[in-house]
Amino acid sequence: MFNIEANLQADKQYDAIAIAVFDTTKPLQGTLLSLNDMLNGQIEALLKDGDVSTKKNKITKIHTLGHTHIKRLYFVGLGKQEKVSFTSVREAFGSLFKTLKAEKRTNIAIDLSTFSQDNLEWNDIAHALGEAIPTATYEFEGYKRKANVPDFSLESIEIIAAECDHEELKSALEVGYVYGKATNSARTLINLPGNMLTATDLAEYATTLADTYELELEILEKEDMQRLGMGGILAVNQGSVEPPKLIVLKYQGKETWDDVIAFVGKGITFDTGGYSLKPREGMVDMKTDMGGAATVLGAMEAIAELKPEQNIIAIIPSTDNMVSGNAFKPDDVITMLNGKTVEILNTDAEGRLVLADGITYAKQHGANYIVDVATLTGGVIVALGNDITGAMTNNEAWYEEVLEASLEAGEDIWRLPINDKFKDRVRKSKVADLNNSPGRDGHAIFAGTFLGEFAEETPWVHLDIAGTATTKSEYPLGPSGGTGAIVRTLVTLAERFGNNE
């Protein structure tokens, strides 16, 4: 897909070229200066008059009317030059490719030298471009008899880049593209309706992934869970006619199975709330309650393609949470995989129950570090909104590793506290070791604190993506629906941690 040249070719006809413009009064340089000369000063005049916008993420198209060997120019606004970052460049590329898709431009050249900044490496710009191509043009096909997704496929992208190593640049483009495709895979899983993505379907998806990338696969059936004593998953599954699954994928990037990172993803394929029934408004979109599982599966896809020198195990406990004569109830007491007992105060606090068994199973498989990812609580949205993922931890050093990965990936996380008072509330029960829902106040933190009781001394970070897993609005890097949030953070973590070792 990518062809890299050092400079624009004077003897070549270009259908369209994209060029970055900034909110600056500096004289035109490089490609812009050359094009301005070809067009008798018209670019400078258009910028001065505001006909070419330099505002962030604004795309301006002009036709050259045969005056140059370039038919169309797409100016990509990046805003103030001093505020340009990896994230802002990625979004700008997203806006560009949304425009190209709408106009069905399948051949495009991008002058990366115009995007180059002192605070950004060439490879970062290339990675941002690679990510933006698949994510910005993604759409979920849906189930209408007439396809509601435009037929669009990029034929070629020519990259103009001087003064850099072209092999490294191409590698960065391809890595970014892998990140973007994996993000889209997670989005598609999130967007699937609950009747078309049961726990069994999720297990079949994982099986295909394992076959494609030669990952080690284990799928626990209900009978296996009963034998092992996975009381959390089994309790949540009691009201369902669909069997539960516990999915395990292993990627071994080292010679020996040690120094293992576990990604544990919540796989609740639909959540009614059980007998603590959600209101009608709260039940819509509960097909997305397996967002953590989607994130982990997307990350495993990218990890399997990129092959970092790190051991990774993915654990996905999956079921739906339904109401029936067999469903678990408030006041029930269940026994978890690690032997701890839990008093059920709220059947809608089910995600932490399946995750807790998943965390214990990860430890039994040799996990030295754990990250769990879940659409766990509405409380995290109240606290942090829809653009920031909530985080909790029991280990400062491990949290710093995850935080650094999130910063590099351009995905915001914010830490919430766990203290003894929260632990005391979770441990308060007259009949069991723990309770699953101490109250509404601070309930996002109570959920994380509950999971910490199962992580125990193993370094662990909890990521609550209830706000970030989906969006109601289109944005530069995607449409409404599933976002694939935290896929890139997990992949970056695997790559960084393996390199650090």
pLDDT tens for each residue of 199-254? 999 999 999 999 999 999 999 999 999 999 999 999 999 999 999 999 999 999 99
- Is the pLDDT confidence value at 136 over 90? yes
Calculate what percentage of the chain has a pLDDT beyond 70.
98
Place of tokens 């004569």: 325
pLDDT bucket at 415, cuts 50 / 70 / 90? very high
Q: Quick one: pLDDT at residue 11?
A: 83
Would residue 278 show up in a list of annotated catalytic residues for this protein? yes
CA gap 354, 235 in Å, rounded: 9
CA gap 190, 199 in Å, rounded: 13
pLDDT bucket at 4, cuts 50 / 70 / 90? confident
pLDDT tens, residue by residue, 312-327:
999 999 999 999 999 9
Other CB atoms within 10 A of residue 307 CB: 13
Q: How far is CA 485 from the centre of its chain?
A: 3
The three-state DSSP-derived secondary structure of 42-63 is HHHHHHHHCCCCCCCCCEEEEE
Q: Quick one: pLDDT at residue 142?
A: 86
- Of 140-149, 150-159, 447-456, the range with the highest mean pLDDT is 447-456
CA gap 94, 239 in Å, rounded: 43
Q: Quick one: pLDDT at residue 438?
A: 96
352, 363, 425, 496: the active-site residue: 352
End-to-end CA distance of the chain: 33
58, 278, 423, 427: the active-site residue: 278
Q: Which residues of 361-396 are buried (b: 16+ CB within 10 A; e: fewer)?
A: bbbeeebebbbbbbbbbebbbebbeeebbbbbbbbe
Q: Quick one: pLDDT at residue 501?
A: 54
Q: Are 89 and 410 in contact (CB under 8 A)?
A: no
pLDDT bucket at 149, cuts 50 / 70 / 90? low
Place of tokens 């393609």: 305
The amino acid sitting at 13 is Q
Domains and CATH numbers, the chain: 2-162 (3.40.220.10), 184-500 (3.40.630.10)
pLDDT bucket at 117, cuts 50 / 70 / 90? confident
Stated pTM of the model:
0.96
Would residue 58 show up in a list of annotated catalytic residues for this protein? no
State both tokens at 8.
């624009």
Instruction: Please state the rounded mean pLDDT for residues 285-312.
Output: 98
Q: Are 497 and 480 in contact (CB under 8 A)?
A: no
Q: Quick one: pLDDT at residue 29?
A: 83
Q: Quick one: pLDDT at residue 148?
A: 62
pLDDT tens, residue by residue, 151-175:
667 777 899 988 788 999 999 999 9
CA gap 389, 380 in Å, rounded: 8
- Is the pLDDT confidence value at 286 over 80? yes
pLDDT bucket at 8, cuts 50 / 70 / 90? confident
The amino acid sitting at 108 is I
> When comparing pLDDT for 10 and 400, which is higher?
400
* Kind plus residue range of the DSSP H or E element containing 393: strand 389-393
pLDDT bucket at 90, cuts 50 / 70 / 90? very high
Other CB atoms within 10 A of residue 45 CB: 13
